[in-house]
Structure 1
Amino acid sequence: MSTIDRALTLVEQIVERPMKLQEIAKELDVHKSSASRIVKVLEKHKFLKTENGVIYPGYGILQLAYLINEKLDIRNIARNHIEHLGEVTRGTIHLCILDGNEVVYIDKKDSPYPVRMHSRIGNRGPVYCTGVGKAILAYLPENEVEKLMNSITFNSFTKTTIDNREDLLKELASIKESSISIDNGEHEESVRCIAAPIFNFERKPVAAISISYTTTRNTLEDLFQYRSLLLETTKAISAELGFVPSLTEMVNKY
């Protein structure tokens, strides 16, 4: 293993678990003096820091993460995934982000069927009664959810619209259990969809993708056959944004 290999391996390990110099030497299979030299170089570039004899991740790692994140365009990253999802499901695919207490449609692939939806890139929708909105909302920190709740004016668009805070909170809890959000004609009576969130490297929900069908052509059961594919798609996009599953999530997966 080269010195560069050892340095990069060390950064990966320190992010997972801070260590003392003796532990680092053992992990890298080098003499303590060699481990010390590697640590000092990484400290010089702010990738590591030492406090009371324990080596921790440095702020240089965070700086790089933010710089990379600024360069990432989620629309470009998601484009091929959206195309594939549309081809397989033959539904309308939406990519949305949160802006205040509304969602903004930033990309779309139309269904090949003659009857199409009226949504357009740039359109907005309420966060509380759209599949994409609820998918993002369910995974926001509680203080952010509380702030958003206080800014929402609940309007009933259809007979199935969630029109109060209590029911919305119950719905969000259900979404976190199933990983899937449902819009059963809540915003537009003729449209059903399932949606799932996309996470960034900070493990924050930054967008959501939905598969939509018109009620005249398909049922919720038809949509749910693509649940696994939707989750695979959002996980793949999240991974490209730097999202890494927690140890608990990885264990549960298996």
Structure 2
Amino acid sequence: MAQVQSVERTFSILEIVAQHPDGVSITALSKEMDLAKSTVHRLLGTLVARGYVQKDTNTGYYQLGVQCLVLASSLLNNLDIRTIAKDALQRLAKYAGEVVHLCIHDKNEVVYIDKVEGEQTLRMYSQIGKRAMMHCTGVGKALLSGFSEQAIDQLMKEKGLPSFTDTTITTKEELEQALLTIEKQGYAIDEQEHEDGIRCIAAPIFDHDGHVIAAISIAGPIERMTKERVEGDLTRAIMKESHDISAKLGYLNK
């Protein structure tokens, strides 16, 4: 498809200006684009008039305008996490051969919003729309890793830390230590904490502001989800997919 020269030049200006947060002069723009100043000035005039570029009256330099933020905010606010994560969930389910979940938190609970079955059959608690406690599930702990101390205190006040198995976290000290580990290593393990015989690995999903807004997990029976496998190839696989989903949501991992 043939490109429209003026449109291509306009977007080139925006891309160059975006690389200079302190602003860029029309002389520098002309040189980088190999265009006459008069041409660049004309294109800038349109962008300034539409609010996509602004001119600093003191320096005469050009910077991105507020309208760029309006467009970016509109895009980010309308991103559908299920649509964005779908391919990643399918890849993980195919690779692991186990069930893969996408979850969010609501009212201090985990909500399962998507699920892809692996080749292996598995009977477990989860189904789309189902809710679970946060302190005893891999996805729940991954989501909690983004909570403030005050939010965790509120969670404990509302929900407590009830025991489901012999390995369930039941004290604030245990939970805080687990969350520190998750923050450090980037993923969470559910070591049969919600259901006996089920092991899970989960990773948080970040939005463009760096907030944890969702989590993905791989779950299966301990006979197949061995510690060696979970801590080896499945860790690498889920971390890659969680990073890719976060990047699509605008997160920049610094």
Structure-2-length-normalised TM-score? 0.82
Match of 1:81 among 84, 88, 102: 88
The answer as to whether partners of 1:211 and 1:223 remain within 8 angstroms in 2 is: no
Q: How does 1:168-207 map to 2 (within 5 A)?
A: 168-207=175-214
Q: Does 1:4 align with 2:10?
A: no
Corresponding residue for residue 71 of structure 2: 64
Q: CA–CA distance in 2 between the matches of 1:244 and 1:113?
A: 33
Q: How does 1:34-183 map to 2 (within 5 A)?
A: 34-51=39-56, 52-53=58-59, 54-138=61-145, 140=146, 145-153=148-156, 154-155=160-161, 156-183=163-190
The alpha-carbon deviation at position 86 of structure 1 amounts to: 0.9
Count of residues in correspondence between the two structures: 242
Change in 2 beyond 3 A, CA 1:49/1:203: farther
The alpha-carbon deviation at position 96 of structure 1 amounts to: 0.5
User: SS of 2:148's equivalent?
Assistant: helix
Moved more, 118-127 or 39-48: 39-48
- Letter of the aligned partner of 1:56 in structure 2? Q
- Letter of the aligned partner of 1:192 in structure 2? R
Change in 2 beyond 3 A, CA 1:29/1:205: farther
Moved more, 226-235 or 30-39: 30-39
Change in 2 beyond 3 A, CA 1:137/1:9: farther
The answer as to whether partners of 2:104 and 2:112 remain within 8 angstroms in 1 is: yes
Q: CA–CA distance in 2 between the matches of 1:170 and 1:24?
A: 52
User: Where does the alignment leave 5 or more consecutive residues of structure 2 unmatched?
Assistant: none
The answer as to whether partners of 2:135 and 2:169 remain within 8 angstroms in 1 is: yes
User: SS of 2:123's equivalent?
Assistant: coil
Change in 2 beyond 3 A, CA 1:90/1:5: same
The CA RMSD over aligned residues, in Å, is 2.6
The alpha-carbon deviation at position 185 of structure 1 amounts to: 1.7
Change in 2 beyond 3 A, CA 1:204/1:55: farther
User: SS of 1:105's equivalent?
Assistant: strand
Cα distance per residue 1:225-254 (max 9 Å; x no partner): 22222122223323333x2535xx4xxxxx
Corresponding residue for residue 20 of structure 1: 24
% same residue: 35
Q: CA–CA distance in 2 between the matches of 1:14 and 1:204?
A: 27
Q: Does 1:210 align with 2:217?
A: yes
User: Where does the alignment leave 5 or more consecutive residues of structure 1 unmatched?
Assistant: 250-254
Q: CA–CA distance in 1 between the matches of 2:8 and 2:167?
A: 57
Q: CA–CA distance in 2 between the matches of 1:146 and 1:41?
A: 49
Q: CA–CA distance in 1 between the matches of 2:17 and 2:155?
A: 42
Q: Does 1:29 align with 2:70?
A: no
Cα distance per residue 1:7-54 (max 9 Å; x no partner): 323323433432232443343333444333333322222222233334
